């Protein structure tokens, strides 16, 4: 008999990033009164929008004010939340296994658990790809989580304090990878230096702060059009960023980074933001198909190729574009679109009728160079090219992308109130998190 009601169905969403959180929230709000149970699983108790982590790393954003509690959101939207790390899956029994949760002292806070599902959505995002380069894991900082961003912020603050007591010491920061994260972080560092100097915490200026942005390819922001890349490069160089293109790093040490030509780029702080891959545990999920980046291979309806009850979305999904131009890129807008696609077509999933093909729409990309500038392109899906924007208009659109994410999880009223509070905080709070 055809399934027409979500009664007693259980959807488990693993990963509370942009796509996973939006999907769990919207499904619960629409179907909870019809008997659908939705459970969100994440290893962390709170959520922060990943594109903002570079601002957390420099102190421009206080994560304590901006983060969302999964438990509070679960209560508001009507889904269940389980904190924990997914370890394995049993596709025959339709269940996943969560690792035990331990406290700071090593005591077990929550035991190993098993969650049974009718439908499983994998939305675990991605992590930075170190490409096996020697020394990266030991000497570089990644910006994959709030904890890593906060660790870098504290290290940066301590380095600035140390520098303030020296007359001749320079602070050298090297960033490997000139995608959006690397470019935005390099600009944000100059803003942080200026603000710390204004607060009397540091004496860093352009002559003492040395930020080097390193890209293995021929230009920065390789995913964006040439004119956007050129505009961003010019803006960075005006700030004082040393842009190194066509520079491949072969090893990292305490002293700095060694290139393929044997040159040592000295650096006190090192950030690795050169590419992404999906978490490695996805390669051990009961024979589900994955690619060289550990992404789960999905069909045009976002179902995994070997199990129609398991879906994947966002950075952890390898989904071919309908126009034949490779796979859907790992962007926040793609995760948002995929979550919206599954939500809008969930009635077909419940009825077990065919789903339409997901079609990625490129609405353009924007890169924020802190308070100095914003550049990017809009309507990237236009056949005759995209529209380049910069300055205040680009900044307005950049901020609106985050507001759209907030709308999906909070609704209009709460999002408007949050925006109002953000404006008030800009007046009454310090511009940087100083502790």
Contact 123, 15 (CB under 8 A): yes
Q: According to the model, what pLDDT value does residue 363 have?
A: 80
Low-confidence ranges of the chain (pLDDT < 50): 1-4, 382-384
Per-residue pLDDT reduced to its tens digit, 319-337 = 999 888 899 999 889 999 9
Tell me the backbone φ, ψ of residue 363, rounded to 5 degrees.
-95, 10
Q: According to the model, what pLDDT value does residue 137 have?
A: 93
Rounded CA separation 86/251 (Å): 32
Q: According to the model, what pLDDT value does residue 397 have?
A: 75
User: Length of the chain in residues, anyone?
Assistant: 435
Matching residue, tokens 């206080």: 62
Rounded CA separation 366/304 (Å): 31
Rounded to 5°, angle at Cα 197 from 195 and 201: 105
End-to-end Cα spacing for the chain = 61
Q: According to the model, what pLDDT value does residue 384 have?
A: 45
The pTM of the full predicted model, rounded to 2 decimals, is 0.91
Task: Please give the domain boundaries of the chain with CATH numbers for all domains.
Answer: 10-126+278-351 (3.50.50.60), 133-274 (3.50.50.60)
Contact 326, 334 (CB under 8 A): no
């Amino acid at each position: 008999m055809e399934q027409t009601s979500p009664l007693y169905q259980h959807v488990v969403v693993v990963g509370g990033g942009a796509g996973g959180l939006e999907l769990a929230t919207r499904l619960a709000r629409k179907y909870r009164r019809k008997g659908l149970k939705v459970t969100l699983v994440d290893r962390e108790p709170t959520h922060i929008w990943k594109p903002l982590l570079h601002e957390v790393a420099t102190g421009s954003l206080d994560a304590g004010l901006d983060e969302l509690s999964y438990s509070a959101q679960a209560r508001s939207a009507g889904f269940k939340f389980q904190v924990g790390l997914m370890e394995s899956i049993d596709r025959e029994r339709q269940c996943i296994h969560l690792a035990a949760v331990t406290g700071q002292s090593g005591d077990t806070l929550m035991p190993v658990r098993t969650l049974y599902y009718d439908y499983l959505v994998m939305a675990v995002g991605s992590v930075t790809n170190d490409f096996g380069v020697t020394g990266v894991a030991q000497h570089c900082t990644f910006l994959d989580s709030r904890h890593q961003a906060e660790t870098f912020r504290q290290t940066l603050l301590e380095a600035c304090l140390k520098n303030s007591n020296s007359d001749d010491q320079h602070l050298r920061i090297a960033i490997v990878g000139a995608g959006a994260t690397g470019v935005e972080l390099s600009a944000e560092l100059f803003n942080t230096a200026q603000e710390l100097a204004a607060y009397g915490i540091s004496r860093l200026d352009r002559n003492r702060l040395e930020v080097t942005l390193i890209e293995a390819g021929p230009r920065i922001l390789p995913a964006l059009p040439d004119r956007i890349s050129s505009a961003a490069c010019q803006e960075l160089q005006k700030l004082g960023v040393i842009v190194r293109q066509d520079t491949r790093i072969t090893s990292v040490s305490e002293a700095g980074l060694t290139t393929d030509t044997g040159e040592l780029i000295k650096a006190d702080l090192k950030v690795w933001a050169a590419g992404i891959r999906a978490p490695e545990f996805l390669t051990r999920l009961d024979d589900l198909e994955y690619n060289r980046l550990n992404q789960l291979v999905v069909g045009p309806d976002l179902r995994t190729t070997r199990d129609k009850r398991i879906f994947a979305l966002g950075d952890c999904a390898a989904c071919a574009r309908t126009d034949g131009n490779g796979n859907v890129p790992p962007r926040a807008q793609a995760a948002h679109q995929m979550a919206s696609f599954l939500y809008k077509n969930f009635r077909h999933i419940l009825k077990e009728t065919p789903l339409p093909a997901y079609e990625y729409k490129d609405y353009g990309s924007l890169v924020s160079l802190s308070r100095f500038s914003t550049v990017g392109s809009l309507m990237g899906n236009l056949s005759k090219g995209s529209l380049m924007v910069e300055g205040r208009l680009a900044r307005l659109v950049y901020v609106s992308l985050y507001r759209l994410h907030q709308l999906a999880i909070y609704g209009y009223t709460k999002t408007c109130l949050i925006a109002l509070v953000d404006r008030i905080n800009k007046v009454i709070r310090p511009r940087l998190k100083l502790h």
